[in-house]
Chains A and B, each alone.
Chain A
């Protein structure tokens, strides 16, 4: 089991990982090398999510890997889970997004807010890839302000009726089940937000792909329409309680994204080093010039800093003391540095850098979405601003 990508380890980072954590990372790295890298460039050009990889990822255990074994999951710690996200995003942000949504935004809320019956019904099916999930929180007019959402859930004699529109939903058109967040009370009352498990075959539920994306092209992004969608009583996630519940899901997903950013950055750095050493200009490799060495030194420095920041975040998550603000800092830092590294790597690659045969520009374009979703970079700045000053600047 050997991969052609050897990662970045300038500070003996590996010595801080357990044997299992390294084994998990190396396995996913090899899988990405063998199965994703040969096709991802073409998928990106075609604007196609590589569906054919869904069963393999399930078989190996990538979905909800940090959830308990009793529900068909791998029961990994959060560092090992994070390393999976790192390696998947080394391949492509769209693939990591798929796994993030399935695990952190669909399986996590069922595990955290669902009944035991919902857990035993849905989690094994989502872990095995038999069901594909999506997460419906964002609406056309409520992105950074999800508490304002206007999708409604009205209680009836025998269940619920949902109405509303969701937008920017990863996996939306291929999902067999959606976690939909809706207000059960007054439209101004964000404490009435509850989560619902909505099989996408339910009458009144439709989805449509959002076309024309220049980013995350190997990932499905959709609009969801719910028009008088009748659901039984047990579609409600009983322990979901107000806007904090979907925000808890986002904290899980953002944690994975923080690791993912490192993966994308590593991919671009690795490509830049290799290209720089092989590309001859003025009779010597371009990596032999001071200007490219400064680029590479800056990239390496940011990757190393992010690795240790994120490992500590994972250790805090494992002992149960991680805060959402700590996740905001890591997501904000790591995705931002990955954006910078991807752009600099693309520039180092010169004209070749605009081809899909190389990876940096694909990552560069993907990372603009990652910078924007799951709390924009700016919103995370304001969350940190609030944590620092006690003054909320976004309302």
Chain B
């Protein structure tokens, strides 16, 4: 099994986000960046599949600036064999990113290409399926369980009120959801070994995107909750407020 994992460097989900001076990007000063949490499911799945097979190669791809090397090394510390950085400024346009990833992976002979189902910074869900389309490969998104047998993958997706089971031939592209596995922590030895693993830096030129980010805004601060009382005695007041203040009844 030769497995690729596509990885994105994103702000830590607990980081306090400040909109930058241009009003269109986040201010990176003091913000901790981590591997996209959904991509960690992809990393874990790649490692587990390779361990189960007892052989194979796992490769992580990331598109971004030099700082993404650190993100790639996190994947190497977890056990991925080697990394490729497609070095560019990045783009808000998922189609352009998918094109660059597809070009890099084309002809590399991957049996499986794994993505997180979305990147938590822009919540686009796009790059995985678009990459599959460029490569002409089948794609199953938001996979919460998978098994591979006889050159075919069976994937379960959690859909509204149930589970959808799909199957497709390998090679295929899958995007991974929470629940697929429990990503491992890198061991200390893995962290030390990561800097000795191959990490190719390949400059890429992105095509002009067709999407432009006009502005970023933080959500409005949540107003404080209100406790109207306890038990049945509070119900009339609650109904009154829902009807006359919140106007939802």
Give A contacts to B, CB under 8 Å.
1-4, 6, 19-20, 23-24, 27, 30-31, 59-62, 65, 69, 74-76, 84
Complex-state Cα separation, A75 to B192, whole angstroms: 8
**The one of A4, A31, A84 that contacts B14, using a Cβ cutoff of 8 Å:** A4
Complex-state Cα separation, A23 to B186, whole angstroms: 9
Complex-state Cα separation, A30 to B35, whole angstroms: 14
Complex-state Cα separation, A19 to B183, whole angstroms: 21
* Per-residue A-contact encoding for B25-59, CB less than 8 Å = 1, 0 else: 00000001011010010000000000000000000
| A residues less than 8 Å from B13 (CB atoms) | 2
- Return the chain A residue nearest B224 by Cβ: A280
Q: Are A74 and B185 in contact (CB under 8 A)?
A: no
Complex-state Cα separation, A31 to B74, whole angstroms: 15
Min C-beta distance of A355 to chain B, whole Å: 22
**The one of B70, B185, B192, B195 that contacts A60, using a Cβ cutoff of 8 Å:** B185
Q: Are A20 and B186 in contact (CB under 8 A)?
A: no
Complex-state Cα separation, A4 to B34, whole angstroms: 13
Q: Are A23 and B77 in contact (CB under 8 A)?
A: yes
Q: Are B188 and A6 in contact (CB under 8 A)?
A: no
- Return the chain A residue nearest B191 by Cβ: A23
Min C-beta distance of A16 to chain B, whole Å: 15
Given A6-B14, A19-B73, A23-B73: A59 in contact with B187 (beta carbons within 8 A): yes
Complex-state Cα separation, A162 to B192, whole angstroms: 41
Min C-beta distance of A13 to chain B, whole Å: 12
Q: Are B191 and A1 in contact (CB under 8 A)?
A: no
Q: Are A2 and B37 in contact (CB under 8 A)?
A: yes
A-B contact list, 13 entries, CB within 8 Å = A1-B35, A2-B14, A2-B37, A19-B73, A23-B77, A23-B186, A23-B191, A24-B188, A27-B186, A60-B185, A61-B188, A75-B192, A84-B188
Min C-beta distance of B60 to chain A, whole Å: 14
Query: Is the CB of B93 closer than 8 A to any CB of chain A?
Result: no
- Give the 7 A-B CB pairs with smallest separation, nearest first: A61-B188, A74-B188, A23-B191, A60-B187, A74-B189, A61-B187, A27-B185
- Return the chain A residue nearest B183 by Cβ: A1
Q: Are A24 and B34 in contact (CB under 8 A)?
A: no
| B residues less than 8 Å from A23 (CB atoms) | 73-74, 77, 186, 191, 194
Give B contacts to A, CB under 8 Å.
12-14, 32, 34-35, 37, 40, 70, 73-74, 77, 183, 185-189, 191-192, 194-195
Min C-beta distance of B45 to chain A, whole Å: 16
Complex-state Cα separation, A84 to B188, whole angstroms: 10
Q: Are B74 and A2 in contact (CB under 8 A)?
A: no
Given A23-B74, A30-B185, A31-B185: A2 in contact with B34 (beta carbons within 8 A): yes
Complex-state Cα separation, A27 to B194, whole angstroms: 14
Q: Are A20 and B195 in contact (CB under 8 A)?
A: yes
**The one of B12, B70, B191 that contacts A2, using a Cβ cutoff of 8 Å:** B12
Min C-beta distance of B78 to chain A, whole Å: 9
Q: Are A1 and B40 in contact (CB under 8 A)?
A: yes
| A residues less than 8 Å from B14 (CB atoms) | 2-4, 6
Min C-beta distance of B228 to chain A, whole Å: 17
Which of B34, B183, B185 has the most C-beta atoms of chain A within 10 angstroms of its own C-beta? B185
Q: Are B188 and A65 in contact (CB under 8 A)?
A: yes
Q: Are B188 and A60 in contact (CB under 8 A)?
A: yes
Min C-beta distance of B227 to chain A, whole Å: 12
Q: Are A69 and B189 in contact (CB under 8 A)?
A: yes
Complex-state Cα separation, A76 to B32, whole angstroms: 23
Q: Are B188 and A62 in contact (CB under 8 A)?
A: yes
| A residues less than 8 Å from B183 (CB atoms) | 1
Complex-state Cα separation, A31 to B183, whole angstroms: 12
Q: Are A24 and B185 in contact (CB under 8 A)?
A: no
Min C-beta distance of A205 to chain B, whole Å: 32
Complex-state Cα separation, A60 to B70, whole angstroms: 20
| A residues less than 8 Å from B187 (CB atoms) | 59-61, 74
